[in-house]
């Protein structure tokens, strides 16, 4: 029970962030408490931290790449293109927002969608004098559900990728059909749920044109190619992301768009410390509370019923303890060589499942904070209702699609 209290305290602090303090302010000391109380041994905690350090290096690099891409005008240009291509039609803007959010989430991770794309989509809709709610809600949902495609799309994927035994291309090939199925179902439900907003008269406002930031777009395209091709020559994704950050960072420094110290802060070192501290606390929870129960519940074969059960367990756990600790717990339970189908079903559960509630994903909480800063407060009731309509259906369909493509 003590380990669960420590986990709850860590997550509550991360959600509330009193006085704007970083999440690591609580996570690191509470990890120390877990060690002092003997809830996690130093050996096991150290092993867990060492295992995820390369993943943390990649996370820091890709967060920096996202920020530098924004500094170079990628997201503001994208907002302009959305406004131009939709021709003032709200339904067409929703389809384009889905495409943009899915692409940004897949390539630059869900944090880029929440922090960088959401404000742009909000400004685009308001600039056209269209109801912004369908489009900003799409950013929240796709930050979670569209993060299943690539190993680099979500921290949960990165944590599981090393244990999967798959190549970058192999992971993507297996998750492509579940990803497409999820997007199709989400779009259909959104079109129905927000039909009144989407049937409004087209806007007649003309958006301001922006030139494409060609250099940054070429670097991002090269980065994506590098992720896929790098493993053929034994280059890990972290080095590809680091090279992209170096190139974009050098350009930003030369043009004085960024200060040198911002290259450190935008890599989010406090977030990295938070995840490392959380990993230690989760090790204690897995060892003393949930590990045995989950070992009993989780199957070890990848038939359709077993995959559906696995995805459901992962989704429920994500909404109870948040998807990042849920992933760490489930990876600990599955061990170093898990069944590939079961592992990917877990990722579907922890990535799609959090759309059911506000608490399932830190990205959703961050999305609320981004909107609040812009003067918008989304309705919790409406978010939950939309989650009930989309999450079970898309999770079940995506899991069935995964079963179809598994060898």
Q: List pLDDT tens digits, range 33-47.
A: 888 888 878 888 888
Beta carbons within 8 Å of 24's beta carbon, 6+ residues apart: 270, 271, 273, 274, 277
Residue (of 324, 407, 405) closest to 157 by Cα position: 324
So what's the pLDDT on residue 289? 67
Inform me whether the pLDDT recorded for 101 exceeds 80: yes
- Quick: pLDDT tens for 319-347: 888 888 888 889 888 888 899 999 999 99
CB 134 within 8 A of CB 197: yes
Domain that holds residue 115: 1-405
Q: What's the average model confidence in pLDDT over 116-122?
A: 93
How many CB atoms within 10 Å of residue 397? 16
For residue 278, pLDDT over 90 is answered with: no
Lowest mean per-residue pLDDT among 79-88, 135-144, 300-309, 330-339: 330-339
Least Cα distance to 363 among 318, 303, 397 occurs for: 318
C-alpha to C-alpha distance for 118 and 196, rounded to whole angstroms? 22
Q: What's the token pair of residue 44?
A: 């096991």
Plot region of 234 (φ>0 → left; ψ -120 to 50 → alpha; else → beta) = left
Are the beta carbons of 342 and 300 closer than 8 angstroms? yes
pLDDT exceeds 80 at position 20: no
Q: How many folded domains does the chain comprise?
A: 1
Q: What is the pLDDT of residue 47?
A: 81
Confidence at 288, pLDDT banded by 50, 70, 90: low
Residue 19 has pLDDT above 80, yes or no: no
**Residue 336 CB: number of other CB atoms within 10 A?**
9
């Amino acid at each position: 029970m003590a380990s669960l209290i420590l986990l709850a305290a860590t997550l509550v602090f991360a959600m509330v962030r009193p006085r704007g303090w970083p999440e690591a302010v609580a996570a690191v000391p509470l990890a120390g408490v877990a060690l002092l109380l003997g809830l996690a041994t130093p050996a096991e905690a150290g092993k867990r931290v060492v295992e995820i350090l390369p993943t943390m290096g990649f996370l820091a690099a890709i967060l920096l790449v996202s920020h530098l891409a924004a500094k170079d005008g990628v997201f503001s240009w994208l907002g302009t293109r959305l406004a131009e291509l939709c021709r003032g039609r709200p339904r067409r803007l929703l389809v384009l927002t889905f495409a943009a959010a899915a692409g940004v989430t897949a390539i630059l991770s869900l944090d880029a969608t929440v922090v960088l794309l959401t404000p742009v989509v909000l400004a685009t809709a308001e600039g056209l004098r269209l109801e912004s709610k369908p489009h900003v809600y799409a950013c929240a949902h796709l930050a979670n559900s569209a993060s299943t495609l690539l190993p680099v799309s979500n921290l949960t994927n990165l944590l599981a990728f090393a244990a999967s035994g798959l190549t970058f291309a192999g992971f993507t090939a297996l998750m492509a059909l579940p990803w497409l199925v999820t997007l199709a179902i989400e779009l259909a439900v959104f079109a129905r749920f927000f039909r009144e907003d989407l049937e409004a008269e087209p806007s007649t406002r003309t958006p301001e044109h922006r030139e494409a930031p060609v250099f940054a777009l070429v670097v991002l395209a090269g980065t994506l190619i590098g992720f896929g091709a790098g493993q053929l020559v034994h280059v890990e994704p972290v080095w590809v992301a680091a090279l992209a950050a170096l190139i974009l960072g050098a350009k930003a420094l030369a043009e004085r768009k960024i200060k040198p110290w911002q290259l450190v802060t935008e890599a989010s070192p406090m977030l990295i410390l938070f995840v490392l501290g959380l990993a230690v606390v989760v090790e204690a929870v897995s060892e003393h509370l949930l590990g045995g129960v989950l070992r009993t519940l989780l199957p070890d074969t990848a038939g359709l019923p077993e995959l559906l059960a696995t995805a459901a367990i992962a989704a429920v756990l994500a909404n109870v303890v948040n998807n990042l600790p849920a992933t760490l717990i489930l990876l600990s339970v599955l061990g170093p060589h898990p069944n590939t189908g079961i592992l990917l079903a877990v990722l579907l559960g922890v990535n799609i499942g959090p759309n059911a509630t506000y608490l399932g994903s830190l990205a959703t909480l961050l999305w609320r904070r981004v909107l609040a800063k812009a003067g918008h407060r989304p309705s919790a009731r409406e978010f939950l209702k939309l989650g009930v309509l989309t999450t079970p259906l898309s999770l079940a369909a995506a899991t069935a699609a995964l079963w179809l493509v598994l060898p």
